[in-house]
Amino acid sequence: MSGRSRSWLFRVTLVVNAHLRPKQLARPLAIWLATRSQAPGSLKCFLGALKMEITKMAGVSLKRGSLAVEDNDSVAPAEEAKRQKVSECHLTTGQDRLENDSPPNSENMPEAVSAGKVIKTSAAQLEEEEEDGLSEEGDEEEEAESFADMMKHGLTELDVGITKFVSSHQGFSGILKERYSDFVVHEIGKDGRISHLDDLSVPVDEEDPSEDVFTVLTTEEKQHLEELQLFKNKETSVAIEVIEDTKEKRTVIHQAIKSLFPGLETKTEDREGKKYIVAYHAAGKKALANPRKHSWPKSRGSYCHFVLYKENKDTMDAINVLSKYLRVKPNIFSYMGTKDKRAITVQEIAVLKITAQRLAHLNKCLMNFKLGNFSYQKNPLKLGELQGNHFTVVLRNITGTDDQVQQAMNSLKEIGFINYYGMQRFGTTAIPTYQVGRAILQNSWAEVMDLILKPRSGAEKGYLVKCREEWAKTKDPAAALRKLPVKRCVEGQLLRGLSKYGMKNIVSAFGIIPRNNRLMYIHSYQSYVWNNMVSKRIEEYGLKPVPGDLVLKGATATYIEEEDVHNYSIHDVVMPLPGFDVIYPKHKISEAYREMLTADNLDIDNMRHKIRDYSLSGAYRKIIIRPQNVSWEVVAYDDPKIPLFNTDVDNLEGKPPPVFASEGKYRALKMDFSLPPSTYATMAIREVLKMDTSIKNQTQLNTTWLR
């Protein structure tokens, strides 16, 4: 290491010393030392990992952590409120989302993907394991298994039935999400328009209070008012002295309190010759979730719709942040679909009775967020109303020739890709989510409990590992629960249920987990069956419709008859997810379904469960998806850090688009395409690159690349 590097590292160490214990500094430092000579951008990796550790120690933790449930299906408002609380622990499902949104169909499962999952992950993505955060000192300094070692226990595509390609071109490699800004998602609304953030102006409304409402209260006064609003103090009111006593000043203070702290009312009082504005509760704890009615103009729609631009945050994280700054409950927000974390995403959000003016003020307070395109509407947004998403994806450092790229992209445009459920559907550890789902369907509740709680190989947070070890040792739910700093994960919820209902009533204990997350497991099993059956269908009959295949007429599935085969293409063919309300193809694949379910001790003719929630009605899914609006460009670049296209915010700020040289050290494939709901962008990218998208495979590729 050069003297300059040592000096730099010493200064950084001094800066972070106040924030991190040695164990926390060790991880990012190890990444840098391991990769500084071999991998380009190793300094960036160190800084990224270092920033992660500081954030974990010092930041306000609103992040969802390990269970990033992406559910655009079958979520009632009450379930949605519960869903926001399930976080932090559960790594048997994935985490950062790469995919499109699912419609509100009870047969779809939440979509989520683990950090650094697809194609070659960058070095900075390899170290996303959390500090356990349980004991301050005296911990044994265990040498942690590397992420790559842990992922040796993970699933491959073969394990979940993803085996076929539809194109004939030769595959090549590339790095997806080397920078999160290499993956941009724009929502396609129900009217077919792609959402863009292109207007930050606020609708003019004479009913809105003045801008002074945001500055008239001191930080201390805001803190006291927030504590009052959230019932965190013993006082029943907060009094604020009016220093410059004028009617105008009093009016602004009244407006500020009512606007910034929903649920509080105000009155003016004289105390010993001084004027005070007294804030107090009017409607009790319900006021937070139901903003005051009388302060909203009757002529204005009850919902403010806006476009949310966010970077490196998933949708629920973003809404938690917005609700915190607005001091309201998250369940007054609505949206049509959840979006990726490790990406730049643009989507429409609606919020009940919060003014555009107040929302626009957040642009001054928040980093990595931008709100704009405000309008007032009568109705909220509903999950599944969107038509899909438009993706702009950069694959960096590609190895394919121009001819290979041309063949791959032409095939994607003309034929499409197999509509597999992606790897993120099945989890990142040695115990896939579909195994839990199968045990639920078999009514094997002791096995359900065991699969969720027992120790397993794979990437998990330290405190969750300790929780599992305690459970294996004592089978004491209360003792295992004490090992979890965050109780609202699937494991924590189940342990709390077992403590409450006892070990002999696992069904009731499992029922404490929000319905949406319980259904995730059985939907994972359906997806596992569907992937395997589609691979068999393509192997048996290829890419043409055959008699006995299924197509949809409206919402009804019908068989293709011999004389009608020429009226259909492979893009019309659907296959069922198993359930009691579907029909199966009239050819060899029907028997394959039966054999697979029989091997799993399930009766394909009776998919109703003793517990209604777990009865599967089934659904139909197209076997081949052809993306729309497909375009691509191969560009040369020298600096891995430069962005390769402009975002909406870049355009708002008037930044010129990047200019590319004809030659460069690296080549990147920039591609644009639109997908309908409930399809996986990773599966489209898999078809282009012809690479296994599992974490197990990608981390092995990555560590090879780092050498």
Predicted confidence (pLDDT) at residue 115 exceeds the cutoff of 80: no
Determine, yes or no, domain membership for 171.
yes
Q: Are residues 615 and 648 in the same domain?
A: no
Cα Rg for the chain, rounded, in angstroms? 27
Q: Give, as one character, the DSSP assignment of residue 209.
A: P
Q: Give, as one character, the DSSP assignment of residue 458.
A: B
Determine, yes or no, domain membership for 430.
no
Q: Are residues 243 and 302 in the same domain?
A: no
Q: How far apart are CA 452 and CA 112, in angstroms?
A: 18
Predicted confidence (pLDDT) at residue 71 exceeds the cutoff of 60: no
pLDDT at 123: 31
**CATH code, 380:** 3.30.70.3160
**Domain end: 569, 596, 622, which one?**
622
Domain span at 552: 519-622
Q: How far apart are CA 637 and CA 45, in angstroms?
A: 20
Q: Are the CB atoms for 691 and 173 separated by under 8 Å?
A: yes
Q: Got the DSSP string for 502-528? A: -TT-HHHHHTTS-HHHHHHHHHHHHHH
Predicted confidence (pLDDT) at residue 395 exceeds the cutoff of 90: yes
Predicted confidence (pLDDT) at residue 103 exceeds the cutoff of 80: no
Q: Are residues 643 and 689 in the same domain?
A: yes
For 16-61, the pLDDT digits (tens) are 443 444 444 444 444 444 444 444 444 444 454 444 444 444 333 2
Q: How far apart are CA 652 and CA 640, in angstroms?
A: 24
For 129-171, the pLDDT digits (tens) are 222 222 323 333 333 445 445 445 678 889 999 999 999 999 9
Number of domains the chain contains: 5
**Domain end: 361, 386, 411, which one?**
386
Determine, yes or no, domain membership for 589.
yes
User: Would you state the structure tokens that stand for residue 574, as one six-digit string?
Assistant: 């659907």
Determine, yes or no, domain membership for 545.
yes
403 is catalytic: no
Q: How far, CA to CA in Å, does 53 sit from each of 23, 57, 129, 283?
A: 10, 6, 10, 41
**CATH code, 229:** 3.30.1370
For residues 576-603, average pLDDT: 96
pLDDT at 149: 54
Active-site residue, from 101, 182, 208, 340 = 340
CA triple 196-198-204, angle to 5 deg? 120
For residues 670-697, average pLDDT: 88
For 639-665, the pLDDT digits (tens) are 888 899 999 999 999 999 988 878 888
Band (695; pLDDT cuts 50, 70, 90): low
User: Would you state the structure tokens that stand for residue 652, as one six-digit string?
Assistant: 């708002």
Any residues with CB less than 8 A from the CB of 513 and at least 6 apart, and which?
A: 86, 490, 493, 494, 497
Q: Are the CB atoms for 281 and 287 separated by under 8 Å?
A: yes
Q: How far apart are CA 23 and CA 15, in angstroms?
A: 16
Q: Characterize the bridge pairing of strands 344-352 and 183-188.
A: parallel
User: Would you state the structure tokens that stand for residue 358, as one six-digit string?
Assistant: 């107040």
Q: Are residues 641 and 599 in the same domain?
A: no
Determine, yes or no, domain membership for 172.
yes
Predicted confidence (pLDDT) at residue 595 exceeds the cutoff of 70: yes
Q: Are residues 198 and 329 in the same domain?
A: yes
pLDDT at 686: 94
Q: Taking the model in full, what pTM does it have? A: 0.70
Q: Are residues 317 and 253 in the same domain?
A: no
Q: Are residues 378 and 467 in the same domain?
A: no
Determine, yes or no, domain membership for 96.
no
Q: Are residues 410 and 475 in the same domain?
A: no
Instruction: Kindly report which listed range (75-89, 209-223, 575-589, 600-614) carries the lowest average pLDDT score.
Output: 75-89
Q: Which of 64-68, 124-128, 246-250, 449-453 has the highest average model confidence (pLDDT)?
A: 449-453
Q: Is the dihedral of CA 311, 313, 315, 317 positive or negative?
A: negative
For 253-278, the pLDDT digits (tens) are 877 777 777 667 788 888 877 888 88
Per the prediction, the chain carries an average pLDDT of: 77
Q: Give, as one character, the DSSP assignment of residue 275.
A: E
Q: Which of 102-116, 149-163, 475-489 has the highest average model confidence (pLDDT)?
A: 475-489
